[in-house]
Amino acid sequence: MEKVRIGVLSHAHGHSNAYCRKMLEFDDAELVACWDDNEERGREAADAFGMEFRADCKAVAGDPGIDAVIVATETDRHAEYVELAAEAGKAILCQKPLATTLDDCDRIIEVVRRTGVKFSVAFQMRQDPVNRKIKELVDANAVGQIAVIRRRHCIGVLNNPDFFTGPTRWHVDPVSNVGMYFDDAIHAADWFYWTFGPAKRVMAEIDNVVSNVAPDDNGVALFRFENGAIGTLFNGSTTVAGVNTTEIYGAEGTIIQDYGDAVSTSLPRPAGIAPLRMIRQGDSDWETFDLPVPASQGERIAAVPRPFIDYVRGLSDEHVSADEGRKSVEMILAAYRSAREGRRIAL
């Protein structure tokens, strides 16, 4: 396959527009058609990206001239449209989170296994150069056995009324999207799983602390991983600005990442600050890694389509499987249960 012909099932999630915009730059991808149950939104996207708008989702999923589809509906509808596309034999890029329930995650896993289609969940944190270097260092046991990890992940979307009153308001609907911690901390949960392996239990506090426009606005979860490590995941949706530091403390050293995801990428980076540094027992100074840092969250999101196209073309096997997508959903749903019930939850 020299050129991947793309269809889009819904532009409810705005990341689909970033993917389409980026793929216009690719010689080996062609945007063919889209469907959206919001016709105005769908036609606007079709006009913006040179696609044909089709009023029937089956006319996109079932088109033999389309090789792969992007599923970017509201999160609680992912399973329905993944099943539609998989039964039609299409490769699928599914917007995160995989689904809002573990039952729907299992529906997706089953149909992907049964049909054998290529499938990936859209997690841009796995494409970030700093995150990839962190995983490389952890995999190489650069700081020994990991004791504690702290990841701060934040984006001030609830400070913007357009987010919860405009077309993206489905994000604050508990049926469509569970809550804001679910919607955004899912990125960091996948990063934890990808880098450190499965979690086995969690304690959490998730609530509306300073707002009341969404099911929740801030939360902290404390995970214990199967390898023994302890990890804390902070996610805030009312954060004005943040450095979003990652701290990894190992038996033989420390890894620190600064100015990471989301809102902090739009802030000036102080002169001389490296995005990643490490110090090992016996070192007299930090080792710094001068890595490229995306200039914006939009640039991070736009990193998703390239590996997907390579995966569909058979040039790479890099993808986030449906089974992996289920792991982060399980982690965050368990955190919500812990917060509701006031106790530690086993995964």
Query: Quick one: 188 and 278 in the same domain?
Result: yes
Determine the length of the chain. 347
Q: Are 24 and 107 contained in the same domain?
A: yes
Structural domain boundaries, residue 336: 125-295+329-346
Burial of 20 (0-12, 13-18, 19+ CB in 10 A): buried
DSSP-based three-state secondary structure for 68? strand
CA distance 64 to 55: 17
Q: Mean pLDDT by 10-residue block, N- to C-terminus, for the chain (347 residues)?
A: 94 96 98 97 97 98 98 98 98 98 98 98 94 97 98 87 89 96 96 98 98 96 98 93 88 90 59 87 95 81 96 97 98 98 98
Query: Is there a single domain that holds both residue 178 and residue 235?
Result: yes
Residue 200 corresponds to which amino acid?
A: K
Whether 9 and 97 share a structural domain: yes
State the pLDDT at residue 294.
Answer: 78
Residue 14 is given by DSSP the state T
Rounded alpha-carbon distances, angstroms, from residue 288 to 34, 239, 258, 276: 45, 28, 11, 6
CA dist list (Å): 182 to 22, 33, 123, 209: 26, 30, 14, 16
Nearest CA to 41 out of 8, 67, 87 is that of 8
| 253 and 227 together in one domain | yes
Q: Do residues 156 and 13 share a domain?
A: no
Q: Domain with 235 in it: what CATH number?
A: 3.30.360.10
Q: Are residues 42 and 150 in the same domain?
A: no
Tokens of 244: 């979003």
CA–CA distance, 213 with 276 (Å, rounded to integer): 36
CATH number for the domain harbouring residue 21? 3.40.50.720
Q: Mark whether 117 and 150 lie in a shared domain.
A: no
pTM comes to 0.95
Contacts of 195 (CB under 8 A, 6+ apart): 131, 134, 135, 138
Same domain assignment for residues 145 and 171 = yes
For residues 159 and 239, membership in a common domain is answered with yes
Same domain, 221 and 339: yes
pLDDT at 74: 97
Structural domain count, the chain: 2
139 and 57 inside one domain:
no
Tell me, what's the pLDDT at 263? 47
